[in-house]
Amino acid sequence: MKPRKPFVAVIGAGNVGATSAQRILEKGISDVVLFDVVEGMPQGKALDLNESAPVEGHDRRIFGTNKYEDIAGAEIVVITAGMARKPGMTREDLLGLNAKIIKDVCQNVKTHAPNSVVIVVTNPLDVMTYLAQETLGFPKNRVFGMAGVLDTARMRFFIAERLDVVGKEVEAIVLGGHGDLMVPVSSHTKVSGRPVKDLIPADELAKIEQRTRDGGAEVVALLKTGSAFYAPATSVCEMVKAILRDEKKVLPVCAYLNGEFGIKDLYFGVPAELGREGVRRVVEIPLAEAEKKQMEASAAKVRQGVEEILRVAKV
């Protein structure tokens, strides 16, 4: 049996990859091909997930594989292959380790799924997305990264928890690089239509913003053996759905910038409209002066990482 088109290929069947696959199947979005280099592991997880379908009541199928030929025809390729952080590690510590993996994966994606839309998840996210596009050579709107949906979800939860409301009532957006300098845009944050600044005192809001920046590390410190995967997988699934269903939905995405927000030749977290062809356009929103400065600092840090990767990976 083969996956029914349009289907999604997930590269890396670890925590984020397998959980993303689970979400895609259980929400009935598409069939999935799950690839990993570890023999038997993607096949085992696929079998386990297929066996859940009768109880879950969906009709989607997943196929586990160690052969890149099986991703041929995928509409979307989600790349989660690579190392995750351990306590005390920054995302940047993963740079050299994951660069090799991303290059290998992307060479294979280029050969076997040349028309796909590619979502990069591997950290350090903004730099790996840049490297992925360089290696793939695909149009830049067909290669982008997942981080902003996750960072924003974290901020929405922290605000919802503080105000004792449901998370979906909180509208927020976190932009910039997926690192310590990410930019929670409180000037655009609203709860049931009301500006958050009218609901939470400034000093408490600043703490929530900082907790958002440290959101990944907070989970890593508790888990000790790896990093977050439930909320990351939900975020991947949200992007996959927007693309496959051509929703033209605006989400915070690590997209290629060519002058937008005053930034050039960089993959960076910005609001972007997603549809079947990938990023349809970057949506520029007005920012407060302080937020603009934070965006500049974050972009400078991502650029440093890109320069390092170009040296290390010799693209």
Please say if 178 is a catalytic residue: yes
Q: Does residue number 13 form part of the binding site for ligand TXD (CB under 6 A)?
A: yes
37 lies in the site for ligand TXD, by CB under 6 A = yes
Whether 122 and 82 have beta carbons less than 8 Å apart is answered as: yes
142 belongs to the binding site for ligand TXD (CB under 6 A): no
Q: How far is CA 130 from CA 14, 74, 120, 174, 216, in A?
A: 22, 21, 9, 20, 21
Query: According to the binding rule CB under 6 A, does residue 48 interact with ligand TXD?
Result: no
**Is cis: bond before 232, omega within 30 of 0?**
no
Residue 72 CB, nearest approach to ligand TXD (Å): 16
> What mask, x for binding ligand TXD by CB under 6 A, covers residues 99 to 128?
--x--xx---------------xxx-x---
Under rule CB under 6 A, residue 36 binds ligand TXD: yes
Nearer to ligand TXD (CB atom), residue 10 or residue 200 = 10
Q: Which CB, 125 or 159, lies closer to ligand TXD?
A: 125
Give the residue among 13, 5, 14 at the shortest CA–CA distance from 72.
Answer: 5
**Contact 154/171 with Cβ under 8 angstroms?**
no
> How far apart are the C-alpha atoms of 213 and 35, rounded to whole Å?
31
* 143 in contact with ligand TXD (CB under 6 A): no
Q: What is the C-alpha to C-alpha distance for residues 193 and 296, in angstroms, rounded to an integer? A: 29
CB 19 → ligand TXD: shortest distance, Å? 8
In the region spanning residues 182 to 241, those forming contacts with ligand TXD, defined by CB under 6 A, are 226-229, 232
Give the CB-side neighbour count of residue 180, counting CA atoms within 13 A.
6
User: Using the rule CB under 6 A, is 298 a contact of ligand TXD?
Assistant: no
Report in angstroms how near the CB of residue 286 gets to ligand TXD at its nearest: 26
| Alpha helices (runs of H) in the chain, residue ranges in sequence order | 15-26, 41-56, 95-112, 125-136, 148-163, 202-213, 215-223, 230-244, 289-312
Residue 201 corresponds to which amino acid? P
Residues that bind ligand TXD (CB under 6 A): 11-17, 36-38, 80-85, 94, 98, 101, 104-105, 121-123, 125, 146-147, 150, 178, 226-229, 232
Report, as residue numbers or ranges, the catalytic residues. Answer: 178
